Every structure is written in structure tokens, then in C-alpha cells.
Chain A
């Protein structure tokens, strides 16, 4: 019965589950609206970059994907801190639901970085400080997912994963500065993917795309957390009611 007590104390899955279900379509809709607006500004209106030609338009996905990959890791670490401090069930589920999306964002950031690097640097991969840090971030995501997948007991998986996230978050600045230092010692890349001198339309396009990615991430994470909730809470009454009541209904 201790489980039940913790369960209902903060955010109980029984109330969060339907709540998330109603929210998902709104996040999807908002994401599509932001995405269309961002694409319109970025791909149709924004002028050519004087240095990088039209190739710079990759930033409209590269930068949002990079931001999201870092932001999602921070959010996961935030959930982990809440989970370890207050022993809430929801936090571990949220962290696990966010991880694959964060890893995909890191992957997208690397992929678009490579596609940008080929015409600009003449190579698919350059050991640039940002790309290298992004790669290490992807490793951290993979480590987290591997650890939580290897632990059968969900409570232990949540806690061990949460601790790993906190250790990772402490290490990320150290890793970033060491990689940056290493990079300046060995070589400096002249062209940079996100420059500060940008036309306002470019900046707005990028921000709109970032909002689109953000809302998308929330929607997918909520979808994933609902499945995790059903799985984890399968012995509770509300899940049984959910399964029997809404027979076969699918969102």
C-alpha cells in the first residue's frame, strides 16, 4: 500500500493519463502551425545568406534539433531530481518517455550537421567542438536508455537512471569545455553553423521551427508516457477499467 500512497501524493497516473490524452492533439496542432509558419518564413521568405548561400537553410532544423537534444536532457535531469527527492512515480516515467525523442534529436542534429558540413567544410564529419559535444550527448542518451532497459524492476530503473542523469548533467559542462579546449588547441573551423549575424526573418524562422520541435517533442513524449503508464500500472483498477471500458478504442 506504500506504492499507492506515493502514487496519489503528487501526480497520479490515474488522473495524468486521461489528461495527457486530451492534451496530445493540441500539442500536435500547435506543432504543425508553428512548423508551417517556420517553414514559410525560413524556406520561402528568408533571404540568401551572403556567406553560405542557400545551404544555410539547414539551420532551420539543425539548430532546433540541437537545442531540443540539450533541452530534453536537462528536462529529464529535472524530472530525475524531482523523482529522487520526492519519490514520485511520474518523474521516472516522464524521463524514460523523453529519452528516445532526445536521442533522435541528437541524431538529427548530427545528421544535418554532416549534411551542412559537406558543402561548407568539404567533409561529412569535422571534429568541430559543437558536433563532437553533440555526439557525446548522443552517447549519454544511449547510456541512459541501455541502463533503464537492463533493469527489470521499474522502480530501480527509475532511480538508477535518474542518478545517471544527474551525474551526466554535472558532467556535461565539464565535457563541453574540455572538448572546446581540445578543439581550439588542434584546429579552428572558420565557418560556423549558427552565426550571430542573421537577418530577422532567419531568426524568426529558426525560433518558430524550435517551437515546432518543442511541441512535437512534448506530444510524442506524452504519447509514450501513456503506454509506459498502462504497462507499469497494469495491476491497478484504473488501468483495468481503461482496458475493459474503452475496448479496442485507439487514439
Chain B
């Protein structure tokens, strides 16, 4: 069922290894970086909004 005879064949991709794995590598990289960037942005936004909110409530209390 599996098309490849050996693991090294799989890595070589019939001579196209660089191009195939380059494409997949770039995709994996982008799909890892994008969610991380979004999550980081979310964290910093929440922290900033919290700071603002606390500053506001303190001002109204005084």
C-alpha cells in the first residue's frame, strides 16, 4: 500500500526533495508562526486592556 521502498527514497522524493520538502517546510513554518503570533497579540492586548481598565476604575473610585 505504501508507495515508498525505503525511508531514504521518501526523503529524496525522486530528486525533487529540496523542492517538495522546501514547500512543506515553509507551510509548516507559516502554519506554526501564524497562530503563535495571533496568540501573542491576544495576550498583549488582554494585558493592555486590563491595565487600562484598572486605571479607569481607580480613577472613578477616587
Contact = CB atoms under 8 A, between A and B. Distances in A.
Q: Do A and B touch, yes or no (CB under 8 Å, in the complex)? A: yes
Interface stretch (A1-9, A51-59, A73-81, A152-160): A51-59
Given A104-B30, A220-B35, A55 B20 contact: yes
Contact of B38 (A54, A223, A230, A244): A223
B19 A231 contact: no
A116 B19 contact: yes
Nearest to B19: A115
A114 B50 CA distance: 45
Nearest to B1: A45
A100 B34 CA distance: 9
- Counting chain A residues whose Cβ lies within 8 A of the other chain, the interface size class is 35 or more
Contact of A112 (B16, B26, B39, B52): B26
B8 to A, nearest CB: 13
Contacts of B30: 104, 107-108
Contacts of A116: 19, 23
Contacts of A62: 23
Please report whether the interface of chain B is mostly helix, strand, loop or mixed according to DSSP: helix
Interface residues of B, number: 31
A111 interface: yes
Contact of A108 (B19, B27, B42): B27
A61 B27 contact: yes
Given A55-B20, A112-B23, 16 more contacts: A43-B10, A45-B1, A45-B3, A53-B14, A53-B16, A54-B16, A57-B13, A108-B26, A116-B23, A118-B19, A220-B35, A227-B41, A230-B45, A230-B46, A234-B53, A239-B49
Q: Which 7 A-B pairs have the closest CB atoms?
A: A54-B14, A55-B16, A54-B13, A112-B23, A227-B42, A115-B19, A53-B14
Interface of B: 1-4, 10, 13-16, 19-20, 22-24, 26-27, 30-31, 34-35, 38-39, 41-43, 45-46, 49-50, 52-53
